[in-house]
Structure 1
Amino acid sequence: MGVSFLSTCPSLLSLVANDTPPSTRYHPRSVPICCNKTIIDVVGEEPFHWRRREVLKCVGATVGLEIIGSSGSLVGMANAADLIERRQRSEFQSQVKGTLYNAIKGNPDIIPSLLKLALNDALTYEKATKSGGPNGSIRFSSEISRPENTGLSPALNLLEEAKKEIDSYSKGGPISYADLINYAAQSAVKATFLAAAISKCGGNEEKGNILYNAYGSNGQWGLFDRQFGRVDAQDPDPEGRVPIWEKASVQEMKDKFSAVGFGPRQLAVLSAFLGPDQSATETLLASDPDVAPWVQKYQRSRETVSRTDYEVDLITTFTKLSTLGQQINYEAYTYPRAKIDITKLKL
């Protein structure tokens, strides 16, 4: 009843919202409530129905404030549950990254294919129909066997083996291929960043790790890490949406990137995703006046110690690529907490 009365009384709602501190419990028996014009002379000139309405407003406010005051424990429980789910997802995500790191470390030559796998899965996205995108559809045999995906089967096989391990320890259900492919690409990108840092240190892995941790862009992955919960497609995406990158002209590449909301800048920074030889791809892209300035910018950035411009722009672009048209389930991989039988506790 309190809720319905409060909903009809904006003045009382503003009183509750402005004068009741969030952390203070309301005790209606100890705090008097005085409503304007409700304490009146019964034999006065005000009509009875007006007095009744004002009295009911006060009753509604009192009950409503009681509900608000008692809801603190419910809010606390909701916040606690949310924190538990976040921790569950974070712990699972860390395990997934560990598994993928080890898989890639043992197969460094697979890195370009992992990057292209993620790109080709994502660029099936079509804005007009809001279909396709990074939805794991590339796992289907009819899609992975298409000409644009030639040579990517070993990368998919590697991820299928990793998925078996991940699913074996997952408490919140199997990981989606959509998440798996994108987190594998993230691990591959990080591996290239680390390799570049080690190279700058003359091949010394210890110094390279120190350099990467001190000056690298690991902290820029926050938004990407929150996008955890992509849903798999149940059918292959339509054919003809992804170019054969090795045969495509720069204009064809620009047209495809433009169709999903990307421009020359994003095309240049994603050059490592377009084929096994980044240098050859960049040489081709540099022939286009729109793309050339960005290619040169990132080449200069990679020569610096921190490589900030290149790494940050790549992370930002890949994050957007990995969510094209996707609805993220932020409750994915969570699971019910184990119930404790207090009768069995030993005090």
Structure 2
Amino acid sequence: MSSSIAAASSIGVKANALTRVSKRAINSKPAVVCSASSKSDDVAVGSSQDAVTRRQALAAGAAVTATLGASTPALAGLLDGALDGALTLGGGDVKEKRAVNLPELQIEFISREEGYPLANGGEKGRAQQQYLKFIEPVIVANIDLPYSEYMRLALHDAGTYEVVGKKNGANGSIRFELDRPENALCKKAFASIEKIKKAVDATVTQPISYADLIAIVPHFAARIQFAKDYYEVMGEDDPNYEFLFIGTNPYLGAKMRIGRKDADGPDPEGLVPGEDASTEDLVAWFKRMGLGPNQLVMFAPYMYENPAKGLDLAVQDGTNASVANQYESQRKLGKRAPGPAVTIIKKLKDMTDNCIPGGPPYVGGDRDPNYVEYAYIRGGGEIPRVTTFGAYPGSSDLGSSKFAQKVRGDR
């Protein structure tokens, strides 16, 4: 018995000595580190290396304590508590500590009337883009016509625009004008838009306007066709589509805008030329909308059921003919080239972004835009403030503080 006590005392003295050495190594200025020799497995001690950190020294002490406990059964029980403490020197889970120390994140939705004066235009624009990205899969899943059909519908809806006075235009009024002879070819596309709108409205908290759907669906429908044409030539495993066709991406090159308001009745008659239109009629039409030969020649193949009819009418004007030649040189590059696709998307944007009643809204120009919800947020590391979310279920979780989301374990 006395011999085991003596052994324990001896080991205790050695442990205390090791502890004092560890402390001295930490507090002394000369740095002591272990470095592996390239010639042998021996460990060399050098004073010119970085200092041992406190955590490394404590971890080494814990390892010594564990070795002593394993080699001396008499001390195993005494060292259990010390060993448990030594193995949790990391300070526990930082996320758990933050969760305890931070107040709970609270999101209180407020009315649009209360919220919109307190949020800036950039926040509102981001909320609208959240909304657009949320509905994109719904739109794409319900597109069932060639993009030329949607292009024609968009042209006829925006085609009533008058740049002088900034009247009429891309406002969804086409739904009241389908009985007019010039809009007869738009019925099929509008029926598809109706189906897409029902699908979108079933998934969001604020219904999308007809004007917005008519303006943005051609973007997605065109990209479907661009990708199909590209992969037919380059193969399904070609990785370069997005890189080459970035100018057609609605969130990058194309930068689609939403927030157009719906008209509650038809626009005046006689503003959109019909089947018997002349070249002069088409030129005057686009001029009245504030557009020119670039937009006219791009839209010409989509004006009538026979694509050649519109293009033949357009090129009878000399300026239009030179623009058409430029476009044709782009097409000669082949289906794998982005030139024609980028031109189509850019000119579509020129029309749908500018031919809006009252003119194109700038960022923040509409104090209370569509598809934006507001909330008061506080706690979770956030400074109390009014913030914006896209108008669809669950968007408040995506829009809250990233730091608070990490604390809650959402990210």
- Verify same fold: TM over 0.5: yes
Partner of residue 265, structure 2: 235
Given residue 172 of structure 2, which amino acid in structure 1 is its aligned partner? Answer: G
Given residue 156 of structure 2, which amino acid in structure 1 is its aligned partner? Answer: N
Partner of residue 310, structure 2: 281
TM-superposed CA distance for 1:284, in Å, is 3.8
From 173, 179, 188, give the equivalent of 2:221. 188
Structure with greater contact order relative to length (CA < 8 Å, sep ≥ 6):
2
TM-superposed CA distance for 1:178, in Å, is 0.6
RMSD (CA atoms): 3.1
* Sequence identity (%): 27
Tell me, what secondary structure is at the counterpart of 2:129? helix
Given residue 88 of structure 1, which amino acid in structure 2 is its aligned partner? Answer: A
Matched, 1:117 2:153: yes
Structure possessing the higher radius of gyration over alpha carbons = 2
- Relative to structure 1, is the Cα distance of residues 125 and 333 closer, same or farther in structure 2, using a 3 angstrom cutoff? same
TM-superposed CA distance for 1:212, in Å, is 2.7
Partner of residue 13, structure 1: none
Q: TM-score of the superposition, structure 1-length normalised?
A: 0.65
Matched, 1:215 2:249: no
Contact 1:221/1:315 (<8 A) preserved: no
Contact 1:220/1:312 (<8 A) preserved: no
Contact 2:174/2:266 (<8 A) preserved: yes
Name the structure where helix makes up a greater proportion of residues: 1
TM-superposed CA distance for 1:281, in Å, is 3.1
Partner of residue 334, structure 1: 372
Given residue 125 of structure 1, which amino acid in structure 2 is its aligned partner? Answer: Y
Q: Distance in 1 between matches of 2:237 and 2:119?
A: 40
Q: Distance in 2 between matches of 1:290 and 1:325?
A: 26
Matched, 1:225 2:250: no
TM-superposed CA distance for 1:147, in Å, is 0.7
From 193, 196, 199, give the equivalent of 1:159. 193
Partner of residue 146, structure 1: 180
Contact 1:193/1:212 (<8 A) preserved: no
Contact 1:115/1:272 (<8 A) preserved: no
Tell me, what secondary structure is at the counterpart of 2:265? coil
Q: Distance in 2 between matches of 1:199 and 1:279?
A: 24
Matched, 1:321 2:351: yes
TM-superposed CA distance for 1:232, in Å, is 0.8
Matched, 1:177 2:210: yes
- Relative to structure 1, is the Cα distance of residues 268 and 84 closer, same or farther in structure 2, using a 3 angstrom cutoff? closer
From 127, 152, 172, give the equivalent of 2:163. 127
Partner deviation per Cα, 1:289-344 (whole Å, 9 max, x = no partner): 221111121111022256444333332321121131345447321113487899xx
Partner of residue 298, structure 2: 269
Give the gaps of 5 or more residues in structure 2: 1-116, 381-407
Q: Distance in 1 between matches of 2:219 and 2:121?
A: 26
Partner deviation per Cα, 1:242-297 (whole Å, 9 max, x = no partner): 011x4322221111111112222221122243133434433443333221111121
TM-superposed CA distance for 1:87, in Å, is 4.3
Partner deviation per Cα, 1:36-69 (whole Å, 9 max, x = no partner): xxxxxxxxxxxxxxxxxxxxxxxxxxxxxxxxxx
